[in-house]
Homo-oligomer: A and B are copies of this chain.
Amino acid sequence: MARGINKVILVGNLGNDPDTKYTQGGMAITRISLATTSVRKDKDGNQQERTEWHRVVFFGKLGEIAGEYLRKGSSVYVEGSLRYDKYTGQDGVEKYSTDIIADEMQMLGGKGEGGGGGGGGDRPQRSAPAQRQGSGSGPSRPQPATQQAPMDDFADDDIPF
């Protein structure tokens, strides 16, 4: 049984096109970088902005939809949970990453929306991924994420807890 609640709700814009990969078992894993901006007045009365860049991960069916319909600039609602990971970088140094594992998504329009797009968290008929990419195959765009974490070879087991 679960103990506790771990819930994240985001509405923001993508800083880049989604990055979709597939596990050896064929499960889609799509990553996006999502901006939310807040404002406060500092003590001098000036407007101060601060943008957080959230690393959001979509698995499976949701990963396919996200990869197909979201684009740089898209506005999206995401619901999910926080996952903290620890890994050893190529430089041998321990690093930490924070991801939001999405379990619900809804497109909200906004600039960057692809051509025929539409989509949503519950889309009934959607096309299959255009093609399977083996891990490591294809040009892997640089990740703009705040916290870099490697994500190259997936087991099918690499799913959100």
Contact = CB atoms under 8 A, between A and B. Distances in A.
A9 B5 CA distance: 7
Interface string A86-120: 10000001011110000000101110000000111
A39 B5 contact: no
B108 A75 contact: yes
A112 to B, nearest CB: 12
B108 A109 contact: yes
A50 interface: yes
A93 B10 CA distance: 30
A124 interface: yes
Interface residues of A, number: 56
A143 interface: no
B9 A9 contact: yes
Contacts of A13: 3-4
Interface in A35-91: 35-43, 47-48, 50, 52-54, 75, 77, 79, 81-84, 86
Contact of A11 (B35, B48, B106): B106
Contacts of A4: 10-13, 35-38, 106
Which of A52, A79, A120 gathers the greatest number of chain B CB atoms within 10 Å?
A52
Interface of A: 1-13, 35-43, 47-48, 50, 52-54, 75, 77, 79, 81-84, 86, 93, 95-98, 106, 108-110, 118-124, 146-147, 157, 161
